[in-house]
Amino acid sequence: MTTLSATVATNTVPAAAGPDAGPDAGPHAAGREAVGVEMRNISKLFGGIRALDDVSFSVRPGEVHALLGENGAGKSTLMKVLAGAHQASTGEIRIGGQPVSIPSPHASRALGIGIIYQEMALAPELSVAENIFLGELPPLVSRRRLQERAAVLLRDLGFALDPAALVGSLPLAFQQAVEIAKAMSRQVRILILDEPTAVLAPPEVERLLNVVKTLSRRGVSVVYISHRLDEIFRIADQITVLKDGRTVGTYPVAGMDEHRLISLMVGREASQLFPKLSRTRGAELLRVEGLHAAGLVRDVSLSLHAGEVLGIAGLIGSGRTELARALFGAEPAEKGRILVEGRPVSIRTPRQGLAAGIGLVPEDRKGQGLVLAMPIRQNATLTTLKRFTNPFGVIRRAAERRAVDALARRTTIRARDLGLPVSSLSGGNQQKVVLAKWLDAGCRIVILDEPTRGVDVGARAEIYGLIEQLAANGLGVIVISSDLLEVIGASDRIVVMSGGRISGSLEREEFSEARIMQLALRSAAHVGAPQGGGAANAPEER
The rounded distance, in Å, linking the Cα atoms of 395 and 408 is: 20
Q: HSE of 497 in the Cβ direction (CA atoms, 13 Å)?
A: 27
DSSP category for residue 424:
G
**Residue type (1 letter), 356:** A
Taking phi over 0 as left and psi of -120 to 50 as alpha, with beta for the rest, 503 belongs to alpha
pLDDT tens digits, 467-494 = 999 999 999 999 999 888 889 999 999 9
Work out the burial of residue 31: count CB atoms within 10 Å of its CB; fewer than 13 is exposed, 13-18 middle, 19 or more buried: exposed
For 197, the enclosing helix (H) or strand (E) is none
Q: Are 9 and 134 in contact (CB under 8 A)?
A: no
> In whole angstroms, what separates CA 338 from the centre of its chain?
26
In 3-state terms, what secondary structure has residue 401? helix
**pLDDT confidence of residue 475:** 96
Q: Domains in the chain, please, with CATH? A: 59-266 (3.40.50.300), 284-373+443-536 (3.40.50.300)
pLDDT < 70 stretches in the chain: 1-35, 71-72, 118-119, 138, 198-203, 266-273, 454, 456-458, 523-542
The rounded distance, in Å, linking the Cα atoms of 259 and 303 is: 30
**pLDDT confidence of residue 523:** 56
CA distances from 182 to 126, 177, 178, 191, 375 (A): 13, 9, 6, 11, 43
* pTM of the predicted protein model: 0.56
- Number of other CB atoms surrounding residue 505 within 10 Å: 19
**pLDDT confidence of residue 71:** 64
b/e burial code for range 465-495 (CB count within 10 A of at least 16 → b): bbbbbbbeebbbbbbbbbbbbbbbbbbbbbb
**pLDDT confidence of residue 85:** 92
**pLDDT confidence of residue 159:** 78
For 407, the enclosing helix (H) or strand (E) is helix 397-411
E strand map for 256-296: 284-293
Long-range contacts of 386-390 (CB under 8 A, 24+ apart): none
In 3-state terms, what secondary structure has residue 200? coil
Strands 37-46, 90-95: pairing kind? antiparallel
**pLDDT confidence of residue 118:** 67
DSSP category for residue 64:
E
CA distances from 206 to 112, 160, 327, 379, 487 (A): 26, 15, 33, 46, 32
Strands 90-95, 98-100: pairing kind? antiparallel
